[in-house]
Structure 1
Amino acid sequence: MKQTKTPPSGIGCIDDPLRPILGMCGVMQGNEEVILHTHPRAQLAYAKAGVLRVNTADGTWVIPPTQAVWVPGDMEHQVIAVSPAEVHHLFIDQRQFDALPTQCSVLEVSPFLRELIIRAISHGRDYLPDSPAARLMAVIGDELQALEPSSLYLPLAQDRRVVRVMSMLRDNPADSRGLEEWAADVGASGRTLGRLFLRETGLSFGQWRQQLRLQEAVKLLGEGKGVTEVALILGYRSPSAFVAMFRKALGKPPKQYCVDLTSGSGES
């Protein structure tokens, strides 16, 4: 599928202390990409339907409708719609709030916050200070400061041997070779490669590969593929093994997740 490149909206560059949160919404087509960019305001991107992927220099995040991605101000990032997505954005002046995240992360979105985001965007970007809209934005700020990160994060690395393994696994997540086999392929010992993975990503090799497969699973489910097909694509010996991994990581089975992907519901 041909990739469509889109420039950023520019809203994240608006300097307006009287309006600490600015909202916008729009539709992204499948494989549409907002090109690499930065802006002073932090950004919360929430796909009411569809799946997003956000890339930074530190890693990759996949965002289904039950979650949102937080991008701190001035962090270079790229947003890609893995599948057609209805996206709601909040652009936040971090100077106005004390405890917002300082690193890019995927955050769980409660039904309450989801409704707040939708309501905030309905007020537009020209609300008056000390108005009902301004008070709503203050409540959103309180909610954002209390959000918990989710597990859909894939850290990247700098060491050339680790990067090579990551690249090959991203091309073929079903590759089931063990650490020793990968180490021989990149000119290292298994112990060395394992230590490098842990040092550079904070995850063991096995944990990193599972995170990759989890991200790919969310992407493939968002594209409409069935659970058995996804399990086979990702190299699982049986659909039940894939379902068990998915449920343990994300708290619900893939079929329920598929329902949420199309409905935008965070409830199981």
Structure 2
Amino acid sequence: MPACWLGTVTVHSDHHIFWVMRGTAKVLAGGEVHDLAAREALWIPPGVPVDQISTEPGSVAFTVLLPSRLFPDFPAGIVRRTLTGPLCDLLLYLHSRWVTPSWREAAVTPDIAVTLRRVFSGPGRPAVSFPVTPVSPPAVAVARQLVDDPADRRTLRELAAETDLSPRHLTRIFSTETGMSFGEWRVELKLAVAARMLADGTPAGRAAAAVGYTSPASFSRAFRARTGTTPGAFRSVSGGPVAARPDAVTVPEAPAATLLPLVNRVHVLVWMARGSARVRLRGREVTVARGQLMWFPAGVWHELTTSPGGVLLCLGTLPLEVPLTHDHAVPFSCPGIPEEDLLYRASVMNTLLRPYPWDPGEFTGELAALLPPVGHRDRSPSVAAILRDDAEGHQTLATWSRRLGPDTPELARLFRRDTGQSYREWKVDRRMTEARALLRDPGRSVEQVASAVGYRSAISFNRVFRAHHGMTPGQFRRDRLARSLFEAVE
């Protein structure tokens, strides 16, 4: 398992939990470097920049975002914790729910929310980031001098004179390229350097002097205004992991959950990492046991319900050109693939962490080898053409028959053989899958959604949608917008 890295700066508006399942990881967040071992996690609050994440070879790490409104009273600082096995499984469950938005139930139940608060609340350092560096050469030269010596006592006028710029011009450059005035940028730099020294255990008075403050009181006022805490309190917070004793926190079992009926545009491979799932297909029902894999071929209707504690992870997708049919939708085992390899694949598939160098073609090629030894290897080209070119089901089967060659009865037989359902059933299911995605956009009216998925009348669209979901499109939209899938149900 190659090392992975994320080199793009990300700033989330939600709470962000990053944890290591296997191996080690290094996270640069909030201006600090955090070295994490297996079963260690970081709670990163909204607005704290994550500059870089890297893992060592053989390591597996995951992430999940939780809406800030669920945890409004959490501290502004990054919190680090050591996790138990059950806590890792709970976070893996939340990750699986986060990356698949089409579940009926909310993921964060009240008892899960309480558990997360108990585990991650407590001491944590407020994040103090280094300011953005300007890009213009004269401003870069000034910034480098101050980074090398934050206690430099030269004034703006003296620094500007060395660059042949006027003080006003230099201030304008800093304001344009960093979003703050030169004076604000300089204070931010001093406090960021001081925060790193305090985190390393440097006494507050020595840190104040090192960044150019002549008075500990003025340093304390500036530091508190920036972080909400005093330098002494900031220094006293342990940056190391805090062990979560198994008997200290009772971890609730993840609830059972049902995925809304889907018809995929591509072939999707899933892995039952924890628990089991019951899968309904047209005309049959199968059970996926822990450790088993299953393909959901493109165009095949399916609905699944996980057991309590069940975690279903996506391992990847294949394009429509690969000849998978309804018969391939069966659970199968791959005893030769260790669990850590499957976790690694799920991590790469569902997070922004990528191996370096990253070869998507090689990744897809490995998936193509994981096919169950059943089914029609040669899917009908006519059915493949319909699935590819009529994603919303706008045509009739007779129209496709005239275009593709087989007569209508033969085309109907081939379509049912390859997808497990009639063309009419597939058309409605595909439209409903697309409609749910469009209804999540508040900028689209129900009438526009109806037209986009092939209905001439909003009335007929409402009737079909209600038959499939037990609610009207308007009720579905209000329910989804008012209650996020990750919002705890009181």
Instruction: Write the distance in 2 (CA, Å) between the matches of 1:70 and 1:162.
Output: 25
Structure 1's unaligned 5+ residue stretches are 1-5, 13-20, 36-44, 55-63, 81-88, 101-107, 144-148
Q: Residues 52-201 of structure 1 correspond to what in structure 2 (within 5 A)?
A: 52-53=32-33, 70=48, 77-78=51-52, 91-92=63-64, 109-110=74-75, 121=88, 123-125=90-92, 134-135=107-108, 152-201=129-178
Q: Is the 8 A contact 1:34 1:78 kept in 2?
A: yes
Letter in 1 for 2:63: F
Residue in 2 aligned with 1:8? Answer: 4
Query: Counterpart in 2 of 1:204?
Result: 181
CA shift for structure 1 position 28: 11
Q: Call closer, same or farther: CA 1:157–1:164 in 2, change over 3 Å.
A: same
Task: Work out the percentage of aligned pairs sharing the same amino acid.
Answer: 23
Amino acid at match of 1:231: A
Contact 1:243 1:254 in 2 (8 A): yes
What is the alpha-carbon distance in structure 2 between the residues aligned to residue 209 and residue 28 of structure 1?
Answer: 39
Q: Which amino acid aligns with 1:78?
A: Q
Distance in structure 1 (CA, Å) of the matches to 2:129 and 2:237: 16
- Which structure: larger Rg? 2
- Deviations 1:19-69 (CA, angstroms, capped at 9, x unpaired): xx985248999xx9669xxxxxxxxx69xxxx7259xxxxxxxxx989576
Number of matched residues?
198
1:100-152 CA distances to partner (integer Å, 9 max, x unpaired)?
A: 9xxxxxxx9539x9699979645253677579994369969xx9xxxxx9764
Letter in 1 for 2:19: M
2:208 alignment partner, one of 231, 253, 261: 231
* Structure 1 residue 255, shift from structure 2 partner: 0.7
Q: In structure 2, what is the Cα distance between the partners aligned to 1:173 and 1:27?
A: 39
SS at match of 2:92: coil
Q: Work out which of the residue numbers 198, 222, 242 in structure 2 matches 1:221.
A: 198
Conserved 8 A contact 1:194-1:205: yes
How far apart, in 1, do the equivalents of 2:80 and 2:198 lie?
25
Deviation for aligned residue 1:202? 1.5
Structure-2 change in CA distance of 1:262 and 1:251 (3 Å): same
Q: Which ranges in structure 2 are unaligned for 5 or more consecutive residues?
A: 9-15, 35-41, 55-60, 98-102, 118-125, 243-490
Q: What amino acid maps onto 2:92 in structure 1?
A: R
Contact 2:80-2:240 within 8 A present in 1 as well: no
Give the alignment's TM-score, normalised by structure 2: 0.32
CA pair 227-98 structure 1, distance change in 2 beyond 3 A: closer
Report the residue type matching 2:206 in the other structure: E
Scaled by the length of structure 1, the TM-score of the pair is 0.54
Tell me if structure 2 keeps the 8 A contact 1:152–1:215.
Answer: yes
Structure 1 residues 211, 229: closer, same or farther in 2, change over 3 A? same
Q: Distance in 2 between matches of 1:179 and 1:155?
A: 18
Residue 7 to residue 174, structure 1, CA distance change in 2 (3 Å)? farther
> Is the contact between residue 18 and residue 43 of structure 2 (CA under 8 Å) also seen in structure 1?
no
Q: Secondary structure at the match of 1:155?
A: coil
Q: Partner amino acid for 2:52?
A: Q
Distance 2:207 2:43 in 1: 19
Between the two structures, name the one with larger relative contact order (CA 8 Å, sep ≥ 6).
1
Cα-Cα RMSD:
5.1
Following the alignment from structure 1 to structure 2, what is the Cα–Cα distance between the partners of residues 121 and 22? 11
